[in-house]
Amino acid sequence: MKKALLFASIVAVLLTQCGKETDPFLIGNGSIGQLNKKTQMKQLDSIFANDSIVKVGQIEDAPETQGEVEIYEKGGKKLMLLSPEDEKDPNSVITNIQIFDERYITDKGLGKGSTFGELKANYEIAAIENAINSVVIFIKDSDVFITIDKKQLPENIRYNYNAKIEASQIPDTATFKYFMVGWDADEEEADTASEE
């Protein structure tokens, strides 16, 4: 009897796990909802069957999912911009994603609508790069990187393009100009080769 109850419990747990759908807005390492590092551009039609895919570049006679594409909900809300490794190859994997919708968040709640203070409270910063009009912040052990407009920084470092910017110089209230996810296609190819 105990064995039957144990077996029934295991089956119930497995069926519950199999029935769970992927959160379409969860950003994980190597994934965003149903997208992952191995997703090819030609697969987007089936992944976003209920949404609209809009081609950004003008590659003549190319299918919709070749080159950069924007994904919109049927209601018209822009979700993300997807950039492939090779814009001319529909078999190319996605390497960069710009997130526009605030519903896309990490497991620690970081998303487009977050602040730098929330980033610092939940993540370790790997690097801060000083660009002309913004600073780019890379998060340790994460595919996510964000950009903050320099207009939000103290004036003494805003116009110094050579200054080394520290996290302590960025206000906790600073909002994100760009919320990005970057996947290294070369790293993925190496992983695939080692699996074969």
Compare 107 and 10 and report the one with higher pLDDT: 107
Task: Specify if 60 maps to a domain.
Answer: no
Does residue 13 have a pLDDT over 70? no
What's the rounded Cα separation, in Å, for the pair 154 and 115? 16
Task: Specify if 45 maps to a domain.
Answer: no
What secondary structure does DSSP assign to 20-48, as a single string? Answer: PPPPTTEEETTEETTEETT-BGGGHHHHT
Closest CA to 27 of 117, 98, 120: 98
pLDDT-above-90 percentage for the chain: 68
What's the rounded Cα separation, in Å, for the pair 44 and 32? 13
- What angle is formed at CA 170 by the lines to CA 165 and CA 174, rounded to 5 degrees? 140
Q: What does the pLDDT average to over 98-107?
A: 97
Does residue 17 have a pLDDT over 60? no
Task: Specify if 169 maps to a domain.
Answer: yes
Give 55's DSSP letter.
Answer: E
Does residue 11 have a pLDDT over 50? no
Task: Specify if 144 maps to a domain.
Answer: yes
What's the rounded Cα separation, in Å, for the pair 6 and 138? 46
Closest CA to 93 of 20, 196, 194, 187: 187
What's the rounded Cα separation, in Å, for the pair 137 and 116? 10
What's the rounded Cα separation, in Å, for the pair 139 and 130? 15
If one counts the domains in the chain, the total is 1
- Is residue 66 within 8 A of residue 88, CB to CB? The reply is yes
The pLDDT value given to residue 148: 97
Task: Specify if 79 maps to a domain.
Answer: no
Does residue 104 have a pLDDT over 70? yes
155-175 residue pLDDT tens: 888 888 888 999 999 999 999
Task: Specify if 40 maps to a domain.
Answer: no
Amino acid sitting at position 154: P
The pLDDT value given to residue 87: 87
Q: pLDDT band at residue 9, thresholds of 50, 70 and 90?
A: very low
40-93 residue pLDDT tens: 999 999 999 999 999 887 656 655 556 899 999 998 999 999 999 998 888 999
The pLDDT value given to residue 63: 55
Tokens of 139: 């998060």
Task: Specify if 77 maps to a domain.
Answer: no
Q: What does the pLDDT average to over 111-126?
A: 97
Amino acid sitting at position 173: T
Task: Specify if 16 maps to a domain.
Answer: no
- Which residues lie below 8 Å from residue 108, measured CB to CB, with a gap of 6+? 122, 123
179-194 residue pLDDT tens: 999 998 665 444 544 4
State which residues form the domain around 151: 103-188
